[in-house]
Amino acid sequence: MGKVYTGFGYWDVGAWILFFAVAAFYILWLRSQGRSDYKKGTAQDEIYWSGNEVPEDGADLTVPASSAYWGFRKALEPFYKGLLGMHTGLPADVVGYYVLTVAVLAVFVLLV
């Protein structure tokens, strides 16, 4: 294993693995302290879903991926409007951005 020296400090994977081992041991110990005398098949055994009845199909109670980080996207709406607008998917745009980038680079490299 050993240490990785970055020139600014070092990284010791062994220390981290030791940390994870200790954390895993603690978590397993904590879990083992839980009560094992609950009654199966009663309300004690059911999923608690904010006091509501749990739907039969999992699809009804999950947040879909397209809604994840909704607030993040809403807060950055102008940024995403521009970024998504740039990705038209049109072949002419795909080639166009490439040609434009190379042309701009060429101008700057010749000027510098």
Q: Catalog residues that contact another protein under the rule CB under 8 A.
A: 1-4, 6-9, 11, 13, 16-17, 20, 56-59, 61-66, 68-69, 72-73, 79-80, 83-84, 86-87, 89, 91, 93-95, 97-99, 101-102, 105-106, 108-110, 112
State in angstroms the smallest separation of the CB of 48 from another protein. Answer: 14
Count CB neighbours of 73 within 10 A. 13
Angstrom distances, CA of residue 19 to CA of 12, 15, 16, 23, 98: 11, 6, 5, 6, 47
Closer to another protein at the Cβ: 22 or 73? 73
